[in-house]
């Protein structure tokens, strides 16, 4: 059985890492604040959000939206509403703060306001023609869900949400307010159907906003791997050749995907970075057990890229993934 995460301890670890890598402090502090929220230390999480805002973050609206969501959960409704109003006035060009603000309203039964926020964001960020940008899909799904709760008829945005959804269950069924009735049913068929719907929903819900960093596999470009092995020959047992290293990465990720592991990614290593990490751990770079820890730390710093990639192959060949390792 997997031990339960000690969210306070994980937050402290991320805070220490942020002090070591100030250039990545924003990502690390956001992760730390999320763990503090899960630990019930919401006031400390708010302090972290305030610290981030004072640093002039790259994504100020996202930080403010997360702060508003956290504040509302421990009784600061008026301040949370004021922050959400400020986000709407700022009209950020990325979907994440809009979704978090709308979902915060939705979770507190402010369905009409949640619908307004989802609609404003969709109108601002999604072009009327052409494909729906993948990172805006949570806007369409959230808006569809709220409209079903409000009992509103389908409109063009709802049709687009249906067309864009990758869930195995139709959105009308997934977002049916009457689904809750089946949870009290004694009919095994109804219960199994509800479990299938919940699984589909969990597989797609807020995928673009997933805060936990991905399960990441370490990738050494050929020049970096050559430099690594020249400096630390004992690691040759881990990397017999660069070609085998690349093949192992793809095979490992496919195995993880087949086992149902979500949120997979690849982090690119460099020798100076790895040496700095080993020094921070008071260990030698020749210690092979550091390699997975190094990958996890890079991912926590926001350095992971999604696997499988949508465009060029992750290996750096310059050709599409489908024509390279994805073939």
Q: Which of 157, 184, 209 is the last residue of a domain?
A: 209
Domain membership of residue 45 (yes or no) is: no
| 22 exposure class (CB count in 10 Å sphere: 0-12, 13-18, 19+) | exposed
Q: Is residue 202 domain-resident? A: yes
User: Same domain for 64 and 204?
Assistant: yes
Task: Tell me what pLDDT residue 187 has.
Answer: 66
Long-range contacts of 188-191 (CB under 8 A, 24+ apart): none
Do 190 and 242 lie in a common domain?
Answer: no
In the chain, how many domains are there?
A: 2
Q: What pLDDT does 23 receive?
A: 82
Query: Has this prediction a pTM greater than 0.85?
Result: no
pLDDT in tens, the chain (327 residues): 234 568 898 889 889 888 888 888 888 899 899 889 988 999 999 999 999 999 888 889 999 999 999 999 999 999 999 999 999 999 999 999 999 999 999 888 898 999 999 999 999 999 988 888 888 989 999 999 899 888 889 999 999 998 888 777 788 877 777 654 455 556 667 666 666 666 555 544 444 334 455 678 999 999 999 999 999 999 999 999 999 999 999 999 998 888 877 778 999 999 988 887 888 778 899 999 889 888 888 887 778 888 998 889 999 999 999 999 988
Q: Domain check: are 133 and 162 in the same one? A: yes
Tell me which of 209, 228, 256 is where a domain ends. Answer: 209
3-state secondary structure of 216: strand
Residue 47: inside a domain: no
For 112, the token pair is 């009409």
Nearest to 5 by CA among 27, 29, 30, 37: 37
Q: Which residues pair with 264 in a beta bridge?
A: 215
CATH code, 161: 1.25.40
Q: Which helix (H) or strand (E) holds 217?
A: strand 215-219
Residue 75 lies in a domain: yes
260: domain range?
215-323
Partner residues linked to 267 by β-bridges: 218
Asked whether residue 285 is domain-assigned, the answer is yes
pLDDT of amino acid 5: 65
- pLDDT of amino acid 185: 58
31 lies in a domain?
no
Residues 91 and 178 in one domain: yes
Where does 281-317 have alpha helices with state H?
290-300
Domain stops at, among 209, 234, 265: 209
- What is the Rg, in whole angstroms, of the alpha carbon atoms belonging to the chain? 22
Residue 40: inside a domain: no
Domain annotation covers residue 87 = yes
- Residues 289, 189, single domain; the answer is no
Do 254 and 200 have their domain in common? no
């Amino acid at each position: 059985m997997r031990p339960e995460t000690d969210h306070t301890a994980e937050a402290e670890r991320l805070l220490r890492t942020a002090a070591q890598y100030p250039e990545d402090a924003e990502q690390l502090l956001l992760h730390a604040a999320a763990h503090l929220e899960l630990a019930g230390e919401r006031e400390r999480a708010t302090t972290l959000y305030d610290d981030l805002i004072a640093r002039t973050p790259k994504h100020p609206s996202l930080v403010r939206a997360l702060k508003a969501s956290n504040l509302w959960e421990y009784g600061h409704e008026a301040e949370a509403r004021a922050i959400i109003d400020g986000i709407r006035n700022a009209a950020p060009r990325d979907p994440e703060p809009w979704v978090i603000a709308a979902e915060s309203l939705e979770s507190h039964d402010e369905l009409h306001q949640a619908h307004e926020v989802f609609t404003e964001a969709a109108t601002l960020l999604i072009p009327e023609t052409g494909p729906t940008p993948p990172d805006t899909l949570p806007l369409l799904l959230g808006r569809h869900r709220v409209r079903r709760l409000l009992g509103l008829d389908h409109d063009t945005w709802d049709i687009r949400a249906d067309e864009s959804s990758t869930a195995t269950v139709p959105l009308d069924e997934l977002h049916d307010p009457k689904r809750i009735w089946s949870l009290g049913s004694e009919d095994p068929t109804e219960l199994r159907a509800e479990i299938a719907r919940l699984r589909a929903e969990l597989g797609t819900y807020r995928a673009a906003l997933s805060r936990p960093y991905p399960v990441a596999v370490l990738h050494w470009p050929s020049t970096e791997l050559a430099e690594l092995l020249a400096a630390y020959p004992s690691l040759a047992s881990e990397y017999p050749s660069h070609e085998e290293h690349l093949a192992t990465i793809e095979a490992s990720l496919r195995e993880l995907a087949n086992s149902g592991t979500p949120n997979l990614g690849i982090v690119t290593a460099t020798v100076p970075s790895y040496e700095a990490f080993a020094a921070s751990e008071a260990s030698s770079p020749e210690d092979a057990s550091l390699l997975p820890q190094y990958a996890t730390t890079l991912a926590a710093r926001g350095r992971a890229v999604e696997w499988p990639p949508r465009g060029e192959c992750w290996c750096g060949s310059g050709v599409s993934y489908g024509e390279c390792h994805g073939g």
